[in-house]
Amino acid sequence: MTTNDTNTRSEAKQELNSSIIQLVDDFAEFQSMNSFLIQAMTSVMSSHEPVGEDIKQGAKIFALTLQNKSNKLKSALNRLIKTDHCQANNKGLQ
């Protein structure tokens, strides 16, 4: 194995590690947003007050944001799985 091969593998490993760390951070944010939405919806649903239009609109926007984040996480996982380090054992998420 040449020095260039070793450097290339080391750089690839560092890039993979960075991608994993970013994915963990993104998932933690996604999980926090999900927890907030669940708590908010539980509060609204247990209230005896009518749900205002502004709350309904805010919930729709927040739900779309979560859906978008979910799609981005799925794409990031697929990119990570398709790296040379993972490709031999995985086919990606469907």
Number of domains into which the chain is organized = 1
Residue 92 within any structural domain of the chain:
no
Residue 69 within any structural domain of the chain:
yes
Per-residue pLDDT tens, the chain, 94 aa: give them.
Answer: 677 767 777 887 888 889 899 999 999 999 999 999 999 889 988 988 888 999 889 999 999 999 999 999 999 988 888 876 565 555 545 4
Q: Which residues of 58-73 are buried (b: 16+ CB within 10 A; e: fewer)?
A: eeeeeeeeeeebeeeb
Residue 33 within any structural domain of the chain:
yes
The answer to whether 92 and 78 have CB atoms below 8 angstroms apart is yes
Residue 79 within any structural domain of the chain:
yes
Lookup: tokens for 79: 């990119």
